[in-house]
């Protein structure tokens, strides 16, 4: 890859936001996932509603949605997008043990929503950690990745394909 292929750099090597004004508006969807690993007792406390900070899963899901909406404020060269959907779901997973986090973001625009989905998962995991740290300081956030994306010039993509 030569420097001319690096779209976030201008001809002098300075960082810039890519101009997407000439790109067509298309429906775009991105799905990301991640996990928070913790002690089995921590999972049990959340499922039983005994976590000290209250409604852990609902709060983390809302935080993830807020994170998706604020992605352009957090990632320097990301375009601010009009999201038409931001959904975050968190499921307890005793086999992990911990929680699986999944986010889906959508827009109809000139650029993709992958960063919004990844940010949603990251913020939801961080919120889980914050709300559960009184129970378990040895938690680990990880496995955050893009699962799939559709729309735009590059078309559809799925992890592992």
Q: What is the pLDDT of residues 3-30, one digit of tens each?
A: 445 577 778 888 888 888 888 899 999 9
Domain 22-149 class, CATH top level: alpha beta
Catalytic residue from among 3, 10, 19, 130: 130
Whether 130 is catalytic? yes
Q: What are the CA-CA distances from residue 25 to residues 32, 81, 108, 157 (Å)?
A: 22, 12, 6, 18
Give the integer Cα–Cα distance in Å for 92 and 113.
26
Give residue 71's pLDDT: 98
Burial of 147 (0-12, 13-18, 19+ CB in 10 A): middle
Q: What is the pLDDT of residue 53?
A: 94
Structure-token pair, residue 155: 């078309």
């Amino acid at each position: 890859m030569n420097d001319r292929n690096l779209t976030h750099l201008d001809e002098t090597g300075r960082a810039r936001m890519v101009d997407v004004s000439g790109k067509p508006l298309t429906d775009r969807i991105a799905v990301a996932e991640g996990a928070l690993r913790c002690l089995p007792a921590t999972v049990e406390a959340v499922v039983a509603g005994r976590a000290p900070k209250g409604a852990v899963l609902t709060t983390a899901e809302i935080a993830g949605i807020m994170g998706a909406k604020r992605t352009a404020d957090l990632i320097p060269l990301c375009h601010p997008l009009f999201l038409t959907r931001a959904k975050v779901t968190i499921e307890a997973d005793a086999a992990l043990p911990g929680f699986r986090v999944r986010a889906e973001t959508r827009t109809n625009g000139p650029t993709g929503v992958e960063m919004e989905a990844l940010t949603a998962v990251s913020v939801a995991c961080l919120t889980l950690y914050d709300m559960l740290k009184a129970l378990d300081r040895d938690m680990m956030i990880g496995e955050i990745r893009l699962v799939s994306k559709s729309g735009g010039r590059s078309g559809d993509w799925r992890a592992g394909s």
